[in-house]
Homo-oligomer: A and B are copies of this chain.
Amino acid sequence: MEEKKVAVVGAGLVGSLFAVLLAKKGMEVDVFERRPDLRKAKEIGGRSINLALSNRGFKALELAGFAQEIRDISIPMYGRKMHDVEGNLTYQAYGKDNEAIYSVSRGELNRRLMNLADDYENVKYRFDRFCEDINLKENKIEFINEVSKDKEHYAYDHIFGADGAFSAVRGVLQKTPMFNYSQEYLAHGYKELSFPPNEDGTHRFDKNCLHIWPRGEFMMIALPNLDGSFTVTLFFPHKGETSFESLDTEEKVMDFFKATFPDAVPHMPTLVEDYFANPTSNLVTVRCSPWNYEDKVLLLGDASHAVVPFYGQGLNSGLEDCSVFFEMYEKYNGNVKEFFEAFSEQRVPDGNAIADLALYNYIEMRDLAGDKDFLLRKKIERKFSDLYPNKWMPLYSQVTFSHIRYSEALAAGNRQRKIMDEVMEMENIHECWDDQKVIDKILTLV
């Protein structure tokens, strides 16, 4: 594929990193983006979207020699801190020792990846270009220039669709025969709120944790930012008795928050303003198969697998697409069609697996994370895993800290759950959980 001319549609995190990696292979890369250059745009007031980078994401950044720079602008979170209605805190480490997930600003990460890509002479960004259509026979792509309103046509050897959950490139593939596709919305949405920094610039809660207020049917979470603030997100039903729809006055919002998140409210001086000013967003899962059209088009990131955010793997899985792509790249030197097909065949089940895991984790976070049985399960798992690390890696660690395929992690997680179901059936397990017989039981089952 060297010396080829390729297009990357979408200048987001996956698109920009992928452009860098293609450029490193010597390809001519045009990156098209529907929006204006975000480096020239003003900050969007009141919203500071952040996300959690973990090992899969860093591995791909490492390929670009960029992992350390990003680590430097991130805040490690070593565990979850659960806040109950009385304000009691429970802590649960994510992994061992120094294993952490890293809170980072989406905007800042994107800006830095774009600057990195700009350093390559063979990468060219074209902003304000809306992908209107692709001629799949000739691999010509048509854009509308959102500034001049002109139509523009380009031809490429390969087109990479990294244009997100509502991908225009995927929209073209959806009309081709045998393309399987689904988009499924949760009945819950989310709204971003904020804990501003203390007056001295420090964080209002422990900054090295992801904070969760699990409330059964819904939850609130908070991730730290470098400036001392937290980005707070309420995940909540769209409709129903207690929902975004029902909380429609300032009084109802304040009453609800005071009753439901009493330890958080004192740290939310702009709660009511934020609640009504910030949009309510949707949560969608997108799956498709195959991810390629012959050797012409390949989808990456949210364009091929948009997942709900509850495993913190949306971006990580998209960045892993990039690293897996270049791992497989050498093997198929020359035969791009076979390569794209093999890539799709390998990644589709992994995309589906992380979609399933993310959906499941919403239940775990909002519901189980506040549950005694659940916490004991995790404690027993952790103990067994410490004693027999080769026999048991907790599912969360497989997903977050390893590079085991998501589909294999999901299968292993299902086996583990069945084993732990049996363990939790043991008599007086809440009293005897630390006894040797519990370990022995697991040893017979693994």
Interface residues of A (CB under 8 A from B): 166, 174-175, 177-185, 238, 282
Contact = CB atoms under 8 A, between A and B. Distances in A.
Contact of A179 (B174, B179, B183): B183
* Residue from A180, A238, A282 whose CB has the most chain B CB atoms within 10 Å: A180
Contacts of A180: 182-185
A185 to B, nearest CB: 5
Contact of A182 (B175, B177, B184, B238): B184
A175 B166 contact: yes
A216 B432 CA distance: 53
Contacts of A181: 181-183
A174 B174 CA distance: 12
Nearest to A174: B183
A347 B273 CA distance: 40
How many copies make up the complex? 2
A174 B177 CA distance: 18
A178 B182 contact: no
A379 to B, nearest CB: 38
B175 A185 contact: no
Contacts of A175: 166
Closest 7 pairs (CB-CB, A-B): A182-B182, A178-B185, A180-B184, A181-B183, A177-B282, A180-B185, A178-B282
Nearest to A184: B180
Nearest to A166: B175
A181 B238 CA distance: 19
A376 B272 CA distance: 67
Given A177-B185, A182-B182, 13 more contacts: A166-B175, A174-B183, A178-B238, A178-B282, A179-B183, A179-B185, A180-B182, A180-B183, A180-B184, A180-B185, A181-B181, A181-B183, A182-B184
Contacts of A183: 174, 179-182
Nearest to A282: B177
16 contacts: A166-B175, A174-B183, A177-B185, A178-B185, A178-B282, A179-B183, A179-B185, A180-B182, A180-B183, A180-B184, A180-B185, A181-B181, A181-B182, A181-B183, A182-B182, A182-B184
A184 B179 CA distance: 7
Among A166, A175, A185, the most chain B Cβ lie within 10 Å of the Cβ of: A185
A190 to B, nearest CB: 13
A290 B181 CA distance: 17
Contacts of A174: 183
A183 B171 CA distance: 13
A262 B313 CA distance: 55
A184 to B, nearest CB: 5
Nearest to A175: B166
Contacts of A177: 185, 282
A290 to B, nearest CB: 11
A392 B178 CA distance: 39
Nearest to A177: B282
A267 B208 CA distance: 77
Contacts of A179: 183, 185
A184 B181 CA distance: 7
Contacts of A178: 185, 238, 282
Contacts of A282: 177-178
A174 B171 CA distance: 10
A174 B184 CA distance: 11
A176 to B, nearest CB: 11
A208 to B, nearest CB: 36
